[in-house]
Amino acid sequence: MKQKLTYNWHLFNQTSHSPSLIDIVGEDMASEIIDFCFIANPYFPTDEIMEKMQKMMPLLIKMYPSSNPINTVSQLASLLNIKPEQLIIGNGATELITIIQSEFVHELAIPIPTFSEYTDTLRFHNSVTLFQLPPEKKYALDLDEYAEWITQHAIRSALIINPGNPTGQLIERDKILAFISKMSHLEHIIVDESFIDFAHDDIPSLIPYIDDMPNVIIIRSMSKHCGVPGLRLGYCCSSRTDVIARMKNLVPLWNINTLAEYFLSLLVKTNDVYHEMRKRVIEDVQFLFKSVRHISGFYVYKTGSNFVMIKIECGLTASELQRKLLEEYQVYVRDCSNKIGLDSFHIRVSSQGKQKDAVLVAALQSISKEVYG
């Protein structure tokens, strides 16, 4: 007889992020649920990479990480085709976001809804001004309007997340470059590209242009595109080597653990297979988008990421739908109700591969049928 799942619903009220699936249902039962909430590449690391890491585990956990990770930085810089002094690796992107916000940004314009870490850190210190993305325009960021608004409010720094989180919507690179040129007087323009690898087969990143953008700091979370959230890896790059050097002085000694360092050392040799895997994700998320688009009661936003944002139009709130999907269909989605600037009728769904995505699609179809017959 299948064991009945018990859910720790109170955890949803204790964080602006989503609770871990293990915390919600317990370690033994987590395998019963398909997790569409946390965003990570389902195909990478490959089984071969995981086997290498498992083989090295007994040695790595007995070693200290490097106190001067120049080799690790140099390897990643070579992949990005930038200079090592233009790059810092962090214990997740959140470590670097916190440093930037506390040490470099005095005033910051933030389009909302957005990744909660940006608003959670600053909104209690009167150093952030929120730019509401219009629901009637599908929460799309118009960079001309954003630039005019920043100028009117005399704000000194600005944030752009591309593709957006939680919207998934992609801004063309030429438009961002034009914005950066127009706003060259700003102290800093933070561009978060954590999902840019899933935008197109040819990645439309700004990294190749950093030498021409002295006030731009690019942030990327490797949890998303490399599929390793547990390793806590992220990085920043900028042509302002003085900014990068100062950030390096602010991170703790040994902020990157040995397992994360070893994973980074494998990326150069596995780069080709990585790109094969991320292109599979692009195909999968388009399958998910097209499948949900035809279900009555749900509106799916266009996406350039590895997830889609869905507006619920069948009478349920996001929290009600999340609970129904988890209890009745054993799938876990992100309730976006606690995203500042978003209403209580949106969920975010990260693609987990076509086979698992089909389970979610079937669940939404079933719910739609309950409502509309």
Domain with CATH 3.40.640.10 in the chain: 47-269
Rounded alpha-carbon distances, angstroms, from residue 180 to 58, 115, 217: 47, 21, 11
* Nearest residue to 348 (alpha-carbon basis) of 307, 296, 290, 288: 307
Question: Is the CA virtual torsion 277, 283, 285, 288 positive or negative?
Answer: negative
CATH of 47-269, one of 3.40.640.10, 3.30.420.40, 1.25.40.10, 3.30.110.30: 3.40.640.10
**In the predicted model, is pLDDT for residue 352 greater than 80?**
yes
Q: Are 256 and 91 in contact (CB under 8 A)?
A: yes
Domain with CATH 3.90.1150.10 in the chain: 19-45+272-372
Q: Average model confidence (pLDDT) for the chain?
A: 92
Q: Tell me which CATH homologous superfamily contains domain 19-45+272-372.
A: Aspartate Aminotransferase, domain 1 (3.90.1150.10)
**DSSP tag of 343:** -
**In the predicted model, is pLDDT for residue 124 greater than 90?**
no
* Percentage of residues in the chain having pLDDT higher than 70: 93
pLDDT classification of 1: cutoffs 50, 70, 90: very low
Which residue is associated with the tokens 């957006």?
Answer: 164
**In the predicted model, is pLDDT for residue 223 greater than 60?**
yes
Q: Which pLDDT value is given to residue 15?
A: 57
Which residue is associated with the tokens 């719910």?
Answer: 367
Q: Which pLDDT value is given to residue 365?
A: 98
pLDDT classification of 121: cutoffs 50, 70, 90: low
Hey, which bits of 92-137 come out as E strands?
108-112, 128-132
CA 248 to chain centre: 23
- Host H or E run for residue 134: none
pTM of the predicted protein model: 0.92
**In the predicted model, is pLDDT for residue 355 greater than 90?**
yes
* Nearest residue to 82 (alpha-carbon basis) of 215, 176, 174, 206: 206
Q: Which pLDDT value is given to residue 164?
A: 96
Q: Which pLDDT value is given to residue 190?
A: 97
**DSSP tag of 224:** H
How far is the C-alpha of 112 from the C-alpha of 119, rounded, in Å? 9
Q: Are 342 and 113 in contact (CB under 8 A)?
A: yes
- Host H or E run for residue 324: helix 318-329
How far is the C-alpha of 324 from the C-alpha of 369, rounded, in Å? 14
Q: Which pLDDT value is given to residue 5?
A: 58
**In the predicted model, is pLDDT for residue 294 greater than 50?**
yes
